[in-house]
Amino acid sequence: SSIGAQKDRVVTKEEWLQKWETGNIGFHKEQGHPLLQQYLDVLLNGRSGLRVFFPLCGKAVEMKWLADMGHSVVGVEVSEQALKEFFVEHNLPYCEEPVPEISGAKKLQSVSGNISLYCCSIYDLSSSIVGKFDGVWDRGALVAVNPGDRQRYVSLMITLMEKNSSYLLVTVSYDPNKHKGPPFYVPESEIQSLFG
């Protein structure tokens, strides 16, 4: 298949942490992602006060943007550095606490309480820990998880979604034989089979 070159690729947690440590974060958008602004109405669907999930959130500026609109934001990220940079760069006071259900995990929460960021593997989360969400902004998560973990990732995401939730997904299109990823190429047919 055309994605054969990427099928078995594995990016370790250590590799992701190193990207943050060395500032190799070309995936971070300082001004926020134009597609979220363009499709915000689709995500919100006329609703206010939503719970919005940011999988593999990094220090996405959109988290503050949505929180400032009155939504409650929850993110997950393996890099504690990324999460701390988010709060510092936005001058947001926050507190840290352990997550009793997840060994070694931390929750960094804005003092205002409307932004909660979990520092752990996304696969350690469940709806019993983080609840369910009205919206998901998947800007770079599906394309970042290892291809062999996609089914596991999508199965988890489905359990975190409320009945009427909106899921905005950004993917990238390119010749996977010329780039080993991440971001990984996820063909539309695979998105259909994963999410239904």
- Residues of each annotated binding site for S-adenosyl-L-methionine: 16-27, 56, 77, 121-122, 139
Q: Which residues, in sequence order, are bridge partners of residue 96? A: 108
Tell me the C-alpha distance between 183 and 6, whole Å.
Answer: 10
Annotated binding site: 16-27, 56, 77, 121-122, 139
